A and B are shown apart, each in its own frame.
Chain A
Amino acid sequence: MPFKRYVEIGRVALVNYGKDYGKLVVIVDVIDQNRALVDSPDMVRSQMNFKRLSLTDIKIEINRVPKKKTLIMAMEKADVKNKWENSSWGRRLTVQKRRAALNDFDRFKLMLAKIKKAGIVRQELAKLKKTA
């Protein structure tokens, strides 16, 4: 029940609104009650409102406002990319992106695969019901 993800220097957050939607950024400094200075290897260091950020569980070890090189080294050391991609949140996002990028033929293939899977599951269930 108490809060576990705190806004602190080094907290990794996901941008959920605006031009950089979907990017993982690191909180590098806190400007005031509502805004933070965020930075990421592929963007210019800029300020963002906390309402545009969703905090993640990942935290890296940096000092206040590090140089870009130091930031990139710290992110490599903490292995942010892999931790994110293996986390359930990160996996869910990749699945959502994949689903949104399907074309009609892909959706057709998906439908066939679902039907096949449901058929197999139902067969096994019937077998189990018979023996029970």
Chain B
Amino acid sequence: MKTILSSESMDIPDGVKIKINARIIEVEGPRGKLTRNFKHLNLDFQLIKDEEGKRKLKIDGWFGSRKTSAAIRTALSHVGNLITGVTKGYRYKMRFVYAHFPINASITSSNTAIEIRNFLGEKKVRKVDMLEGVSILRSEKVKDELILDGNDIELVSRSAALINQKCHVKNKDIRKFLDGIYVSEKGTVVEEHQ
């Protein structure tokens, strides 16, 4: 059945500048600027001010089926991620896991690429380029840890996935050969001290 109108709204915190034009959202904040294109969704995006003067983003979906109405909340979540990316940034931490052969990783070309050697004793050198806007470095205090920083959650998490996928074990029982580089923590660059 078609729901005549389904809509949801979210608060926009102070300190971010949002521009919406033709389903292309631009968010600007202290850490930089992010853009996202929602033209694949048929939704109405509006910036409104509610009674107390707080800025809100409202998304309307007219005559939507179940699946298209579900896209409203995901679009809001994506915009929320843009906002936290531009205010707090995203920091993904990855740990090396190895049983016998120490994973030798070196960060190259100004924190935007990583070279992995000696994974499971293999001679093959794996090189992973970080995506745009993502920087990588080895954690100083913690042994065998990588830190990926960036503004766009999609790019940071995809870079982490690329590193993880480069270090898959082949032709072995993966329940026993647990080597690899795994994402250990997903957080923000600017920490909130509670």
Contacts and interface: CB of A to CB of B under 8 A. Distances in A.
Nearest to B21: A1
B22 to A, nearest CB: 9
A1 B45 CA distance: 9
A131 interface: no
Contacts of B44: 1-3
Contacts of B4: 33
At the interface, is chain A mostly helix, strand, loop or mixed?
Answer: loop
B46 interface: yes
Nearest to B48: A2
Contacts of B46: 1-2
B60 interface: yes
B2 interface: yes
Interface string B34-56: 00000000001010000000000
At the interface, is chain B mostly helix, strand, loop or mixed?
Answer: strand
A33 B60 contact: no
Interface residues of B, number: 7
Interface string A33-46: 10000000000000
Give the one of A1, A3, A33 with max B CB within 10 A: A1
Interface string A1-14: 11100000000000
Contacts of B2: 33
A33 B3 CA distance: 10
A1 B59 CA distance: 12
A131 B146 CA distance: 76
B62 to A, nearest CB: 8
Contacts of A2: 44, 46, 60
Contacts of B62: 3
Nearest to B46: A2
Contacts of A33: 2, 4, 63
Contacts of A3: 44, 62
A33 B64 CA distance: 12
Nearest to A2: B46
B146 to A, nearest CB: 44
Nearest to A7: B4
Interface in A1-57: 1-3, 33
A3 to B, nearest CB: 8
B107 to A, nearest CB: 46
A2 B45 CA distance: 8
A28 B13 CA distance: 43
Interface string B119-147: 00000000000000000000000000000
10 contacts: A1-B44, A1-B46, A2-B44, A2-B46, A2-B60, A3-B44, A3-B62, A33-B2, A33-B4, A33-B63
